[in-house]
Amino acid sequence: MTDKQPTANIHSFESLATLDGKGIRYGIFFVGCPFRCVYCHNPDTWSGEGKRYTVDELVKKIVRYKPYFGKDGGVTLSGGEVLVQSAFAAKLEKKLAKEGIGVALDTSGGVPLTDDVKDALSHAEMVILDLKFWDDEHYVRYCNGSISTVLDTLEFCEQKNVPVWIRTVMVPGINDKKECIDKYAETVRGYKCVKRYQLLAFHTMGFSKYEKLGIKNPLEGTPALDRKRLDELQAYLDAKEITNE
Ligand code: SF4
């Protein structure tokens, strides 16, 4: 009999990572993304066929790392945009929960709140939500998308008490100014679910992928954001005390 279990289209894995969530993480990067951010450093995850896995196959891979997760660690589902494959993500979260393994969902918030998306969000231990910009005008110009689904995602997490870490990439010449930080802060102020807000520095390590894929790099020539400027902007944001950890 053929195996009828649904499969997910997976781009890659990262074992024993520490960046996306608490503690030691096992990262799974899903293929597909509704946005086209000009500063994306993973254009190779936007579309195409990666490798197909069933939930059981992934759980088998992940449980081998369970001894390393400790109290805080677990799995981070990322991409691309994991919620493009939300039904699969929800199934995986539920199966991992039975193994005592928590899941962080790293999302751009670019997918409308279908029942499957809500299911995946509500079964996450926490959500890492990228806030690219503060209004539709900038989302349209720089991400080919809209802020509305992002705000809907944040609102849903608020209602369901899912802890959220917000992240924003600071890009030189686009959003690396204090006036921009003021707008980001006002966008998330008042949400009790927001536990952290971390700014990330734009870097140029993804540039070679554009060349390899033959895609025009919209930010060619843009320098990486330097660490000192990032620290200044983070301190400016932190002083606004908008998080609730
Ligand atoms: S949401 Fe993430 S993966 Fe998608 S285009 Fe933007 S930066 Fe790239």
Query: pLDDT tens digits, residue range 10-66?
Result: 999 999 888 888 999 999 999 999 999 999 999 999 999 999 999 999 999 999 999
Whole-angstrom CA distances from 199 to 74, 120, 176, 208 are 23, 25, 10, 24
Q: Which of 36, 42, 153, 219 has most ligand 1 atoms within 8 Å of its beta carbon, as the pocket-test mutant?
A: 42
Q: Which atom of ligand 1 is nearest to the CA of 130?
A: 1
Long-range CB pairs of 91-95 (<8 Å, 24+ gap) are 91/6, 91/55, 92/8, 92/55, 92/58, 92/59, 93/120, 93/123, 93/124, 94/123, 95/55, 95/56, 95/59
Helices 55-63 and 86-98 cross at an angle (nearest 10°) of 40
CB 3 within 8 A of CB 56: no
Nearest CA to ligand 1 atom 3: 80
| Half-sphere exposure in the Cβ direction for 58 (13 Å, CA) | 33
Residue whose C-alpha is closest to residue 73's, from 26, 23, 113: 23
Q: Is the CB of 44 under 6 A from ligand 1?
A: no
Residue 37 CB–ligand 1 contact under 6 Å: yes
pLDDT at 3: 58
Beta strands 164-170 and 194-201, pairing class: parallel
Mutate to test the pocket of ligand 1, among 40, 111, 129 (most ligand atoms within 8 A of CB): 40
Beta-carbon count within 10 A of 73 CB? 22
- The model's pLDDT over 132-181, given as tens digits with 9 standing for 90+, comes to 999 999 999 999 999 999 999 999 999 999 999 999 999 999 999 999 99
pLDDT in tens, 82-111: 999 999 999 999 999 999 999 999 999 999
Domains of the chain: 7-238 (3.20.20.70)
| Chain CA centroid to CA 224, Å | 20
Ligand 1 near 45 CB (within 6 A): yes
* Tens digit of each residue's pLDDT (9 = 90 or more) over 65-75: 999 999 899 99
Question: For residue 190, is pLDDT > 90?
Answer: yes
Please name which of 80, 110, 75, 111 lies closest in space to residue 93, comparing C-alpha atoms. Answer: 75
36 lines ligand 1 (CB under 6 A): yes
Q: Does ligand 1 lie within 6 Å of residue 35's CB atom?
A: yes
pLDDT at position 196 is 97
